[in-house]
Amino acid sequence: MGEKTNRFNLCLLLVLIAAGCSHQKFTHVNVYAENQNNQEAGNAFFILEGKGAQEQTEDQRLQFRKYVEKALGLNGLKKTDDLEGAEVVIILSYGSGPPSEHDLLTTELDDHTSIVRMAERTYVRKEKVTTYLRYLIIGAVDFREYAKTGKIKQLWRVTATHVGKNDKLNKIFPYLVAASQPYLGKHVPEKVSVPLSREDVMLMKIKEAAEGGTSQNESHGMQ
């Protein structure tokens, strides 16, 4: 009986180790896509930076623009070098919200228990954590309509958000863009939660556009 128990414990341990080794961390991004009337207004776009850009360095702003330009290009839009040649103006806004403090409940194991009894010997610990909402808004305006009438006509808008432990944008920004890409110009009535791993194909395409193919060398997850 003791030998069978030991074998069971060993098998269970191997399964747990294998599951841990194959575990892949995902960053979840919430996406909201608005295009009530399925409006289109051409493919030539020019980006204008809105809220948040002035808080970044020039190099960081350029990198963020490249991420977004890549995503738009994958959706069939073409970048123009000047505003006069644009059919669509893309309003690019991004930033971090104020800090939010809340309780986090975590479970911990008793180190002095056997594997078969670990479910019985866990306990809950409460701690205070501070998080920040990081966001990206990509909005499209019909520039041909504006040139003719002076009226601003919004075509579509995509908002991506992620809650993390700091207010930095540089690491999370490509995740926000990659999660948004399939929804650019689309209308989705409800929030979509998009899971992205570091090896996600779209994420790697977005990052390579601005970083010269270095995305595969990233070793840290998002915070």
Q: Give 3's pLDDT tier (boundaries 50, 70, 90).
A: low
- pLDDT score of 220: 43
User: Residues near 120 by Cβ (< 8 Å), separated by ≥ 6?
Assistant: 113
Which amino acid belongs to residue 74?
Answer: L
Please name which of 98, 105, 88 lies closest in space to residue 130, comparing C-alpha atoms. 98
Q: Enter the tokens of residue 74.
A: 């994958």
For the chain, give me the number of helices (H) and strands (E)?
5, 8
Three-state DSSP at 3 gives helix
Q: What is the mean pLDDT of the segment spanning 37-63?
A: 88
- pLDDT score of 83: 93
Which residues does residue 123 pair with via DSSP β-bridges, in sequence order? 108
- pLDDT score of 55: 86
Q: What is the mean pLDDT of the segment spanning 131-135?
A: 93
Q: Is the pLDDT of residue 134 over 80?
A: yes
Set out the domains of the chain in order of their start, with CATH numbers. 26-98+133-215 (3.30.160)
| Phi-psi label, residue 150: left if phi above 0, alpha if psi -120 to 50, beta otherwise | left
Q: What is the mean pLDDT of the segment spanning 41-68?
A: 91
Residue whose tokens read 């738009």:
72
- pLDDT score of 124: 59
Q: What is the mean pLDDT of the segment spanning 168-179?
A: 95
CA distances from 60 to 64, 114, 170, 211 (A): 6, 50, 8, 11
Share of the chain above pLDDT 70, in %: 73
Which residues does residue 159 pair with via DSSP β-bridges, in sequence order? 32, 137
Q: What is the mean pLDDT of the segment spanning 178-182?
A: 98
Q: Give 219's pLDDT tier (boundaries 50, 70, 90).
A: very low
Q: Give 223's pLDDT tier (boundaries 50, 70, 90).
A: low
Q: Give 61's pLDDT tier (boundaries 50, 70, 90).
A: very high
Q: What is the mean pLDDT of the segment spanning 34-39?
A: 80
**Mean pLDDT of the residues in the chain:** 81
- The two beta strands, 188-196 and 27-34, are antiparallel
Q: What is the mean pLDDT of the segment spanning 55-62?
A: 92
By the 8 A CB rule, do 185 and 156 touch?
yes
Query: pLDDT per residue over 65-115, tens digit each?
Result: 999 999 999 999 999 999 999 999 999 999 998 888 867 665 555 555 454
| Burial class of 57 by CB neighbour count within 10 A (0 to 12, 13 to 18, 19+) | exposed
Please name which of 125, 133, 83, 82 lies closest in space to residue 103, comparing C-alpha atoms. 125
Three-state DSSP at 185 gives coil
Question: Which of these ranges, 8-22, 81-95, 117-131, 152-166, has the smallest mean pLDDT?
Answer: 8-22
